[in-house]
Amino acid sequence: MAFQTIKGTHDILPEDSTSWQKLEHIIHDVAARFGYSEIRTPIFEDTSLFSRSVGEDTDIVSKEMYTWQDRSGGSITLRPELTAPVARAFIQHNLGRKSPLQRMYYMGPLFRRERPQKGRQRQFHQFGIEAFGSKFPEQDAEIIAIGYIIFSKLGLKDLSLKLNSLGSGECRSHYKKALQDYFNPLKNQLSETSQKRLESNPLRILDTKNPDEQTLLAEAPSIADFWSEDDQKHFSHVQDLLSSLEIPFELDSRMVRGLDYYTRTTFEFISSNLGAQDAVCGGGRYDGLVETLGGKPTPAIGFAAGMERILMSIDPQEKSTEGNSVYLINLVESASGKALQVANEIRELGFAVTMDTLRRSLKAQLRDANRIGAIKVVIMGDEEIKNQTLQIKDLTTGEQEEIAESDLVKHFVV
């Protein structure tokens, strides 16, 4: 039997990697313009890093992690998300002491053993942005603006921003209690999953897709009623800043997010052309996480976006790149050394040069040049070698001209 990728994992084939590189380039560029530096952390970490931060009762920790016992006895997990590893690195390397504000971003693969479907893989990629050190609303607005700018630059269609505040720690525990008080008398109308969640993590019930439960939710208490005065002030300031940046948003008091570390502002960018897995990006404040993991109390906020979902929601036309590709055809075996040299000279001028190494016919090589979208073909045959000339065919106009070899640079630079 021929080997296949493991269920829920995918190859990124050469024909698709240009779109990935373009996306990565925009992320590096925008992050740098906002003063964020890249951080790269290991693919696997101590299991308890995730159970302590993301939360034991979340789907991610209770069902979806790839975890194994290491030979030395410790429990290791393939990272299911990157906020906890970045917070771990922040504490481990004392980054808070180096600068009161640490702005970082990342890209890379993550692993969750979910049921695979469109837009949901078991190995997927995220890019994310995290800022440690500021508790103020302008930091929230900056983080959301970075996402908005990246998605706009990419031409993401039908995108909406949902915004909520989960309040500070105390607000959340009061809200949890209120939800339990509300749902306990209705317990037998809840699904088995929601009944379990009612005990451990009642906020997760708000995420239900079950229509009967959604009806019950209509009358359920809202988190907004549990915000402290400071929570409320912070949240309305964030909204004012987003309005002044002309970033449209909708308030959604039922949006709870699937990870336990959030406090105050939470948000998601939703794309309506993605189907059931419609969240392109999710994030929020996690002012208590650094302390939970053993660091000094440090306010922080960030987001992560699914790179496969981004690429799925970009118009295919947006994915094409401008061509600077040249195809060099050498038909004279004894001149292959010279042909390799000419190819390098053209590359030095900033072009991508492809050469045939199968010694195919002129016709076959011209077909190949068209296939890869070359803009020009340089042809070296017996006559050209003898006369120290080159034939140059412009594939965009179909015109062909002969130039002296010595005019090569002049031809490509003008």
CB-nearer residue toward ligand HAM: 282 or 299: 282
3-state helix, strand, coil in the chain (%, to 5): 45, 20, 35
* Binding piece for ligand HAM, criterion CB under 6 A, among 96-104, 112-120, 316-324, 334-342: 112-120
Site string for ligand HAM, 306-345 (x = CB under 6 A): x-xx------------------------------------
Least distance (Å) from ligand HAM to the CB of residue 400? 48
CB-nearer residue toward ligand HAM: 202 or 258: 258
Least distance (Å) from ligand HAM to the CB of residue 309? 4
Residue 162 sits in the site that holds ligand HAM (CB under 6 A): no
Least Cα distance to 262 among 296, 233, 304 occurs for 304
State which of residues 147, 167, 202, 283 lies at the interface with ligand HAM (CB under 6 A). Answer: 283
Least distance (Å) from ligand HAM to the CB of residue 407? 52
CB-nearer residue toward ligand HAM: 80 or 202: 80
Whole-number Å distance between alpha carbons of 391 and 206: 68
CB-nearer residue toward ligand HAM: 41 or 195: 41
Least distance (Å) from ligand HAM to the CB of residue 340? 43
Site residue total, ligand HAM (CB under 6 A): 28
DSSP at 1: -
Residue 280 sits in the site that holds ligand HAM (CB under 6 A): yes
CB-nearer residue toward ligand HAM: 106 or 327: 106
Mode of pairing for the β-strands spanning 376-380 and 325-330: parallel
Whole-number Å distance between alpha carbons of 220 and 206: 9
CB-nearer residue toward ligand HAM: 190 or 304: 304
CB-nearer residue toward ligand HAM: 36 or 327: 36
Residue 258 sits in the site that holds ligand HAM (CB under 6 A): yes
Residues in Cβ contact with 63 at an 8 Å cutoff, skipping those fewer than 6 apart = 113
State which of residues 114, 207, 252, 405 lies at the interface with ligand HAM (CB under 6 A). Answer: 114
Site string for ligand HAM, 120-159 (x = CB under 6 A): xx--x-x-x-x-----------------------------
What would the 3-class secondary structure string for 54-111 be?
A: CCCCCHHHHHHCCEEECCCCCEEEECCCCHHHHHHHHHHCCHHHHCCCEEEEEEEEEE
Least Cα distance to 39 among 100, 84, 75 occurs for 84
CB-nearer residue toward ligand HAM: 86 or 326: 86
State which of residues 79, 88, 103, 112 lies at the interface with ligand HAM (CB under 6 A). Answer: 112
For residues 360, 364, 370 and 373, what is the CA-based torsion angle, rounded to 10 degrees? -20
Whole-number Å distance between alpha carbons of 281 and 259: 14
- Give start and end residues of each alpha helix (H) in 131-200: 137-153, 169-183, 192-200
Whole-number Å distance between alpha carbons of 342 and 327: 11
Least distance (Å) from ligand HAM to the CB of residue 364? 41
Contacts of ligand HAM in 284-313 (CB under 6 A)? 284, 286, 302-306, 308-309
Q: Which two tokens stand for residue 211?
A: 């229509």
Least distance (Å) from ligand HAM to the CB of residue 160? 13
Whole-number Å distance between alpha carbons of 101 and 233: 22
Residue 81 sits in the site that holds ligand HAM (CB under 6 A): yes
Mode of pairing for the β-strands spanning 37-38 and 102-111: parallel
State which of residues 27, 150, 238, 281 lies at the interface with ligand HAM (CB under 6 A). Answer: 281
Position of tokens 């001149």?
Answer: 335
Phi first, then psi: what are they for 390, rounded to 5°? -140, 140
Residues in Cβ contact with 166 at an 8 Å cutoff, skipping those fewer than 6 apart = 172, 223, 256, 257, 262, 263, 264, 266, 284
CB-nearer residue toward ligand HAM: 121 or 365: 121
Least distance (Å) from ligand HAM to the CB of residue 251? 19
State which of residues 83, 134, 165, 194 lies at the interface with ligand HAM (CB under 6 A). Answer: 83
Binding interface with ligand HAM (CB under 6 A):
81-83, 112, 114, 119-121, 124, 126, 128, 130, 258-259, 279-284, 286, 302-306, 308-309
